[in-house]
Structures are given as structure tokens and as C-alpha cells.
Structure 1
Amino acid sequence: MAGEIVYADLNIPSEPPISRPLDPSQQLSTARRSRWLVIILCFGNVILLAAVITLALQLKAEKTKPGSEAGRSIGPCSTNCSAALENFRSHLRNGLCSQNQSSSSVNSTCKFCPEHWRLHRDKCYWPSADIKSWHESQDYCSARHSHLVVIQDKEEKEYLKQITQDIHTYWAGLFMSFPEKKWVWMTGSRLDKNLFKEPNHSEEEYCGAIKNSKITSDTCNAEFRWVCQKAPLLI
């Protein structure tokens, strides 16, 4: 109708709310989440690298197995896979081992010890700063896929003298076997009397330690430092 007035509700959107800065607790929570995200990403990269190495070694073993399909020459693919594997190993050697060998041997197999372990010839060594009993020391080494140090020759004896500095007493992988009452290394070999003088021992002093380049005996519950030993990883 001409005389009617029509009313309508207009929904005018309001201004967007002004974002407020996070309070300190929210900022701390956000920082923690970011830090954990970085840690998770780094851990994921380590797992991925380990998986790649494992897969590459499995492929190489399968490829060289006699009578297997992977062991037969199948043309360019086999050649390319082998080249890729060797290239990957070369990158690992350059990144992990080149600092321990001459430039002329960077592309040859190298020996690698875990972080904080010391490489010497064909062994990795880890001298402790804490003290434990003989059995606790061996348990510590065993949990790290190693054992208490076994000294086999004069050159190794001199090296142990350097890393222990002949100041403290360190447990070694040496004990008295019964009923023979002979000093035996953890590897089963007997103490070489040309290398060490057999230690004097009193009752219940059945565990061997090293100090001042000499073997000493003590009760196995005594607490000393210790040296772990393991074979290096070959890359």
C-alpha cells in the first residue's frame, strides 16, 4: 500500500575484535610447544637416517647372497643401487670419520666410536669420572654394549696410562677365577705376567684394578672409577 511504512532490521557486522597479546603463561606454553616440536623433528630425522642405513645394508647383503635374485646382475638398476649405496657411505665417512684419518683414506672403511668415547687402534674406550663397585661398573659397560677394559699388550698399557693419567684407580675387566685361583681377563685369557706383575691379594680381594700402570686387587665392593671398552663401528 502507498501509506505503509516498511521497517527492516539491518545486521551490520561489528568491528573485528582487537587481538590481545598473550600473557606470560601463554607465551611460555607456546615456547615450550615450539621447543618440543624442534626436538621431535630432530629425533625423527635421526630415526629416518638409521632406517635408511639399515635398509641400505640389508639391500647390499641381499644383493650379494649366492643364488638370490638380488645377487644376480639385473642390469642398470643393480649398478645404480650399488653406486647410490657407496655414495651414501662415502657421505657418512666424510661427515663422521674424516677428522680421524688422512685425506688419502677418506674413501676407505673407517672406524667410528660413539660420542665421548676415544678411538685407539681397534678399540673404543670410555673412562668414567664417577665411582662404582666392580660389578656395578661392569653392568654400566654392559648396558652400553661394552665391557670393562682388557689390556692385551704394552702399547695398549701405555695408552691406558695416558687416558687415566695414573692418578686414580680404575676397575679393569680382571678377576680371580676359582677353584684355580688364577687372574683372568673377561675375555677368558689369563693375566700376562710379562705385561703385569701378578697382584698380591688378601682374603676376598678378587677383583682387579689398574693404577700407576700396575694391576692391584681389592674387594669387589670397593668403589673406584672404571674404563669401558668396545669395538668401533666400521663405516
Structure 2
Amino acid sequence: MTILLLLGAMIALGIWGWWTKESLHALEKIHAFQGTNSQTPSNESQQKTKLDNHQALLQYLCKSYGNHSTENSRCKLCPETWLRHKDKCYWISREKNTWNKSHHDCTAKVSQLAVIKEKAELDFIKGITDGAQLLWLGLTAIPLTSEWSWVEGSLLNDTLLQVTGAAQANSCGMLKGEKIISEACSAVTKWICETEALLV
């Protein structure tokens, strides 16, 4: 009698184990099917969401710079507190310093002291400074030649900017209005940095 009870219990346990295993297997199939068809977004859907987010950010940023961005257009952006003119961004210091320290400060900002090559650029800088401030530019006198050189190596176009004062050793160029004032590089004044605008 005991043996029959044990045998019956073993058969019942075997059937129960088989049924449990089949039930778990069926549940796994259901979850796998739901996962591919419902809440998990496809790669295509994820990419579309990223593009939509990028486009919305682009339109917001470009709008803040006065650009009318359309779906395929791009715009140029400047760092915060910098002012954009065409392809360049400009930043004017509030404190005063020597030419060398001003030059180092611009370099630390991944920029350079301003180099003026066009009348439109000169007019823009005059406009943001009221033409009254003295500002260090990226301009120094070349020793022995009495010529003026910009920090990127080109020579000053004196038809665009007239220099007041001689180009002596240790002379640097300050902008005032539409003129360059030759001054000792150790003098202190404000300065203007420039960098390329970021195309986005």
C-alpha cells in the first residue's frame, strides 16, 4: 500500500514538473514576441527620434542668433557672451592688461587677438565698442623693419588702418576708432579676441 502511494506521488510530481516547465517555456515565448512588437523601439525609430531632437535643437540655437533655420539649413554659433559677425566670434575684455597677457588670455580661450582685414569687420568692432575704447589687437611691430605684423603672420594693410606713431621695438597696436595707435606692449588696456564661429 505504501509503495503504491509513493509511486502515485512520484507520477504526480513528474506530471507537475513537466507542466511547470511547459508553462514557463510558453511564457518566455509570449514575452519575446511582445518585446519585438511593442515598447522596445526599433533602430529606425530611435534614429528618427535622434534626428528630430537634433533638428529641434538646431532650430532653437539658430533662432537665438537671428537665423531663419529650415530643415536642411545650417547656422554659425558663438560661445556664450561672444558676438558674431559673419564667420567670426568676438569677445571684449572688461579688465585691462598688457599686450602679452592679453595675447595669452585669447590663446587660453582657443582664440587670438583680433586681426582686422576688412572694412566691414572694422565697422562691426567700432559698432560694438562705440568707437571710443582703446583695444589691443593682434598687431605688433617687426623689429628692425618698422613694419606691422598680425599675430597670424600677415602684414598690416595700411590703406584700411592708419597707424599713429612709429613702429619701434616692443611696439604693439591699439585700436581707437578707425586708427591704430602705436603703444609700448607693456601698457595696459582692454583687448578683443576673435575665433571662428562654429558651423552646426
TM-score normalized by the length of structure 1 = 0.61
**Aligned equivalents of 2:145, 2:45: Cα separation in 1:** 59
* Map 1:72-111 → 2, pairs under 5 A: 83=48, 85-103=50-68, 105=70, 107-111=72-76
The equivalent position to 1:130 in structure 2, one of 74, 87, 95, is: 95
How far did 1:177 drift? 1.8
| Higher RCO (C-alpha under 8 Å, 6+ residues apart) | 2
Q: Does the 8 A contact of 1:175 with 1:183 survive in 2?
A: yes
Q: Does the 8 A contact of 2:173 with 2:180 survive in 1?
A: yes
- Aligned letter for 1:213? E
1:115 correspondence with 2:80 = yes
Aligned residue number for residue 110 of structure 2: 145
Tell which structure's C-alpha radius of gyration is larger: 2
Taking only aligned residues, the RMSD between alpha carbons, in angstroms, comes to 2.2
* Map 1:1-235 → 2, pairs under 5 A: 83=48, 85-103=50-68, 105=70, 107-201=72-166, 203-235=168-200
* Unmatched runs of 5 consecutive residues or more in structure 1: 1-75
Q: Summarize deviations over 1:86-107 as a string: whole Å, max 9, x none.
A: 4343122123221223435464
- Aligned letter for 2:126? K
More strand by share: 2
**Aligned equivalents of 1:94, 1:161: Cα separation in 2:** 30
Q: Does the 8 A contact of 1:122 with 1:232 survive in 2?
A: yes
How far did 1:213 drift? 1.6
Aligned residues: 159
- Aligned letter for 1:127? I
TM-score normalized by the length of structure 2 = 0.71
Q: Does the 8 A contact of 2:163 with 2:179 survive in 1?
A: no
Q: Summarize deviations over 1:24-69 as a string: whole Å, max 9, x none.
A: xxxxxxxxxxxxxxxxxxxxxxxxxxxxxxxxxxxxxxxxxxxxxx
Q: Summarize deviations over 1:169-198 as a string: whole Å, max 9, x none.
A: 100000112343310111211111210123
Aligned residue number for residue 12 of structure 1: none
How far did 1:202 drift? 6.5
How far did 1:110 drift? 1.0
Aligned residue number for residue 17 of structure 1: none
Aligned residue number for residue 50 of structure 1: none
- Aligned-partner SS, 2:100: helix
* Unmatched runs of 5 consecutive residues or more in structure 2: 1-41
- Aligned letter for 1:112? L
Q: Summarize deviations over 1:83-140 as a string: whole Å, max 9, x none.
A: 5554343122123221223435464111111111001100000111110000111111
| 1:83–1:199 CA distance, 2 compared to 1 (3 A) | farther
- Aligned-partner SS, 1:103: coil
